[in-house]
A and B are shown apart, each in its own frame.
Chain A
Amino acid sequence: MTRAPERSRPAPPTPSPAQAVGRPLDRVDGPAKTAGLARYTADHHVPDLAHAALVHATVARGRITGLDTADAEAVGGVLAVLTHHNAPRMTPPAPVSALDLSTLAPGTTVDYLNTDRVHWNGQPVAVVVADSPDTARQAARLVRVTYEVEPAVTDFAAAQDDAVPLRGTLLVLGEERTGDAERALATAPVVVDHRYTTPAQSHHAMEPHATVAVWNGDRLTVHEGSQDVDWARRHLARRFGVPLAGVRVLSPHVGGGFGGKAPVWAGTVLTVLAARATGRAVRMVLSREDVIRTVGGRTPTVQRVALGAQRDGTLTALLHTGVSQVGRVGGTPEPVGSQSRHLYAAPHIWIRHSTTTLDVLPTAHMRAPGEAVGTFALESAVDELAVALGMDPVELRMRNEPDRDPLDGKRFSRRDLRAAYARGAERFGWAERTPSPRSMRDGHWLVGRGVATAFHLPVRLPADVTVRLRADGTVLVRCAFHEIGVGAATAQTQVAADALGVPVEAVTVEHGDTELPVGPQAGGSGQTASVATALLEACEELKRSVLALARRSPSSPLRGRRLSELRAGRGGLYRADAPDRGETYGVILTRAGRAEIEVRTAAGTRLGRTLQQARAAAGWFRDRRRWVRAVTGAHFCEVRVDEHTGEVRVSRWLGVFDVGRVVNPKTATSQLRGGIVMGIGAALSEETLVDPRTGRTVNPGLAEYHVPVQADLPRIEVDYLDEPDPTTPLGLLGVGEVGITGVAAAVANAVHHATGVRVRDLPVTLDRLL
């Protein structure tokens, strides 16, 4: 529900010291990581380890006509050169089905090394296995491949005209409309109608993709930097035709994912294949170039946003269409209109998505797919409308802040963007901004300030959790969720500690291993809330079991009590009405002769899991019919632009977010700040350059693909409303992706304010400002 900013609101309750949720605790994995003890995939040494390297196709489309591997095989230390001539056969990937989301696991449909077809410039066409990584790489250079080249579509700009509108499905956002946006535009007194473009972007997580594969008969153990170990396990079991139970994927620490480690890409499959073929344990650590050529990134987009408004700023029409690219052999469309369905109270809205198909590496999800680039277009257009109306851009947004979802009138589970903007404007000193472009300067720096709205729809996924309570008062939480650097284990430690009333030090969390109960993917900003939901259920169940034990004892002060009459705290259960009456878990378990007690959510059986998934899916659809559950935020940005050279420097940043309850302000702030940094990179410098003549990426490394360096970043301030969502357990929503959304628009809007130049094509490089 929206509320007027001037209406006073009760301050969020300050958590009591006993409460762990809401406290900025240090990460539980901090000491191991700072001491270099945390083992990432590439750190795994196993006996008799061999190393693999990829050979990439150098044409965009065609057929392999010749493979000369003699020179590579002659290199001392080379164990095998695998090609489609000699590689073991695999089962092709399963067709995508909404009933089994793990069918989304493969990043492409290519049957690597089981086919002579080439589908993109960079597709792996051979793998060299050797006794050292250097030897493997050197030999990979010596593999000579000849092709019968076929015509290829590799130029996104030229292929836009062939874009096909998408039909909406459970997994894909298609077309949505209310009213008649085009007619409303035609009659609107004030209209802005522009085309915006965003470039392709590549995944550059700190840790490149890496895999260690060990076969033992038909049993397979894989160490893998993964955002979805369950997908990886299921996909590998299928491809290699072995029982699911025999495949174990371990991923305890992941050096960043951003969506790029959710699918299973060629490197993973081919490492396992290489191990199968050679009978050796094999490790492959992708080079930066390997990552860029085999791991899908964000599609380029071209978008049109048209806004119609009354002279007082009331929106009458909102049109947002976008074209994104997919590969011929896979890829995910970018739902750029996602936020435009929910952000503004226009009576006439038309959202449409189209895709065009290219012979390039399939696109994939990258942090806030859809909103990250969709907000650039929408929030730039809103700024352009504010300029056209002579209105303050914050005031224009607040004038059009909806009470209910603009498309279908659903309620928002919570939404207080007004409060976020009000707090942000005050903290940032927005009122000091003089509205005219080029009206603020500091020496030769033109100073500009801009705002933009952040928006994201966190997902909710099923999770299996076990919780084990021991007589010594310690707790073990087990769930195969993923620590991709965000503090996931720390957050669940806090949730469990509060739910059971034990100190955080008593809680250990195991994660990132398919031997554990199945967890959710680290994606869609949903992992923390999804696991926490299951964990809270399990803790309730655990307390019921403990109480049942206590009630058997005539001497227990809990005898005859119901759980609802008790509070968990001080390492046990105590009466709410008489807090000194109760017992520690240790006393209860010891008296019952139990060393430990464990509960798990969901059945461990296949049927149990199917039922649980069905229940979760039904709940999700029910929720989706009832309300829009979204996180929002207000970005305030100041840039300085050199009046001579057009160099842009971001000099101040404040983001105020409405993300529900915050479990750990320290790690959540880091995540939101990281999103803002990534957004600044997208705004100012990031761009994957694909040569339209060849379909080949010409900047496959961090030297030429410019992410922000420290000197590009100001101090980034992050603030929250920190109010619980009333529809979720603990009031959690999700913080992983919302940070990046709106950032590029805030920068471009500030650049316009500084210079008077409107840049509608990312990145905002200085040549666009000369």
Chain B
Amino acid sequence: MRPFTYLSAPDVTTALRAIATEPGARLLAGGTNLVDLMRQDVERPTTVVDISTLPLDEVQELPAGGLRIGALVRNSRLAAHPAVRSRYPVLSQAVLSGASGQLRNMATVGGNLLQRTRCPYFADGTAACNKRDPGSGCAAIGGFHRGSAVLGTSEHCIATHPSDMAVALVALDAVVEVQSLRGTRRIPLAELHVLPGDTPDVETALDPDELVTAVELPALPVAASSRYRKVRDRASFAFALVSVAAAMEVADGTVTAARLALGGVAARPWRAHLAERALVGAPATEEDFRRAATAELATAVGRPQNAFKIELARRTVVATLHQLTTEGGAA
């Protein structure tokens, strides 16, 4: 790894000042992704701003009934939090399905949101990658792309966002609070990550001087009946081929509320609005679930190695929703 200046930020303002003034600065929280990428020479920060001791590690009740989750809350703590487990079980399950116990003990909420793609060509400095080296091309197209995206891709990039947690958060209408020296603003999580288009190197709606300080969850009664289902190549410690975060209420056989998001299929945690619209008001049957999933996946584009993800996503949505209707949201 290349030499860098290390700055331990004693307070938020110091951290904000550092990233506002130094273009090569990177924020270090849990370090589970940044340090790997520095070792691989993909990330080359000139300054590493350590924010891990900032007081952003609380989970607080919001007056309106939601939760405010500090950006530095460790993944393990988030998953184990009683309010998360009881009111947003999909979130707890999603976090626990990711990484390993050791990594979750280190990784933070903010870092999880901002982790980079695991596309192997992104990590290999010798390969073409428009995300790492704009204009160089995309080695995954025409190369190994079994894990790549099928929704929202472009001819410049087919990388996925690897987070499980973010898939649950986007289904739960989470909002991200960000700060800079210019002030504080709130971004719906669904708008935090941007699709590649012709600038795959631009991955989020954040400005370079902004710091994620918290994630807020609204009160969401439907979330009490929710599940996360992750499909992957081995039973643990692997990224999702496809994942589904789902919350649903059914009354008299009819879906009255639904939240649905997909992971492993796009450069962002994919909120399935089209499927939700198809579900609400329709009968809670497998046939209707399939119809809803198909509506969401209508624009999906498969390539030779990853076309299976479209059918896999459809099946996983149906199976997860079916399980919600028969077994409820318990893990």
Distance in angstroms between the alpha carbons of A698 and B2 in the assembled complex: 23
A645 at the interface (CB under 8 A from B): yes
* Inter-chain contact B231/A709, CB cutoff 8 Å: no
Q: A141-B41, A644-B319, A691-B144 are in contact. Are A711 and B231 (CB under 8 A)?
A: no
Near A by CB (< 8 A), chain B positions 1-38 give 1-3
* A684 nearest CB neighbor, chain B only: B234
Q: A137-B1, A767-B308 are in contact. Are A644 and B235 (CB under 8 A)?
A: no
B277 at the interface (CB under 8 A from A): no
In the complex, which residues of chain A have a beta carbon less than 8 angstroms from the beta carbon of B232? Answer: 647
Q: A645-B316, A691-B144 are in contact. Are A698 and B234 (CB under 8 A)?
A: no
Distance in angstroms between the alpha carbons of A53 and B146 in the assembled complex: 32
Of A24-32, A321-329, A586-594, A700-708, the segment with at least 4 beta carbons within 8 Å of chain B is: A700-708
Distance in angstroms between the alpha carbons of A420 and B83 in the assembled complex: 55
* Inter-chain contact A711/B235, CB cutoff 8 Å: yes
Among A58, A645, A703, A711, the residue within 8 A (CB) of B236 is: A711
Q: Mark A103-145, 1 if CB is under 8 A from B, else 0.
A: 0000000000000000000000000000000100110010000
Among A685, A704, A706, A767, the residue within 8 A (CB) of B312 is: A767
A699 at the interface (CB under 8 A from B): yes
Secondary structure class of chain B's binding surface, majority of residues = loop
Q: Mark B313-327, 1 if CB is under 8 A from A, else 0.
A: 001101100000000
* Inter-chain contact B120/A138, CB cutoff 8 Å: no
Q: Mark B217-239, 1 if CB is under 8 A from A, else 0.
A: 00000000000000111111110
Q: A141-B2, A693-B142 are in contact. Are A706 and B308 (CB under 8 A)?
A: no
Q: A138-B1, A703-B118 are in contact. Are A770 and B312 (CB under 8 A)?
A: yes
In the complex, which residues of chain A have a beta carbon less than 8 angstroms from the beta carbon of B299? Answer: none
Total count of chain B residues near the partner, CB < 8 A: 31
In the complex, which residues of chain A have a beta carbon less than 8 angstroms from the beta carbon of B241? Answer: 766-767
Distance in angstroms between the alpha carbons of A645 and B126 in the assembled complex: 35
Q: Which of B146, B308, B311 has the largest number of chain A CB atoms within 10 A?
A: B308
* A645 nearest CB neighbor, chain B only: B231
B143 at the interface (CB under 8 A from A): yes
In the complex, which residues of chain A have a beta carbon less than 8 angstroms from the beta carbon of B236? Answer: 709-712
Distance in angstroms between the alpha carbons of A704 and B87 in the assembled complex: 34
* Inter-chain contact A58/B126, CB cutoff 8 Å: yes
* A289 nearest CB neighbor, chain B only: B40
Determine how close the nearest CB of chain B comes to the CB of A128; give it in whole angstroms. Answer: 14
* Inter-chain contact A698/B231, CB cutoff 8 Å: no
Total count of chain A residues near the partner, CB < 8 A: 32
A753 at the interface (CB under 8 A from B): no
B88 at the interface (CB under 8 A from A): no
Among A689, A709, A711, A770, the residue within 8 A (CB) of B308 is: A770
* Inter-chain contact A138/B234, CB cutoff 8 Å: no
Distance in angstroms between the alpha carbons of A646 and B241 in the assembled complex: 12
B270 at the interface (CB under 8 A from A): no
* Inter-chain contact B235/A712, CB cutoff 8 Å: yes
* Inter-chain contact B235/A649, CB cutoff 8 Å: yes
* B235 nearest CB neighbor, chain A only: A711
In the complex, which residues of chain B have a beta carbon less than 8 angstroms from the beta carbon of A141? Answer: 2, 41
Distance in angstroms between the alpha carbons of A141 and B144 in the assembled complex: 25
B124 at the interface (CB under 8 A from A): yes
Distance in angstroms between the alpha carbons of A648 and B82 in the assembled complex: 33
Would you mind naming 30 contact pairs between A and B with Cβ atoms under 8 Å apart? A134-B1, A138-B1, A138-B2, A644-B316, A644-B318, A645-B315, A645-B319, A647-B231, A647-B232, A649-B235, A691-B139, A691-B143, A691-B144, A693-B142, A696-B126, A704-B118, A706-B234, A709-B236, A710-B236, A711-B234, A711-B235, A711-B236, A712-B234, A712-B235, A712-B236, A766-B233, A766-B241, A767-B146, A767-B312, A770-B311
Assuming A693-B143, A698-B127, what are 13 further A-B pairs, CB within 8 angstroms? Answer: A58-B126, A134-B1, A644-B315, A644-B316, A645-B312, A647-B231, A684-B234, A685-B234, A699-B144, A706-B233, A706-B238, A711-B235, A767-B146
| B residues with CB within 8 A of A | 1-3, 41, 118, 120-121, 124, 126-127, 139, 142-144, 146, 231-238, 241, 308, 311-312, 315-316, 318-319
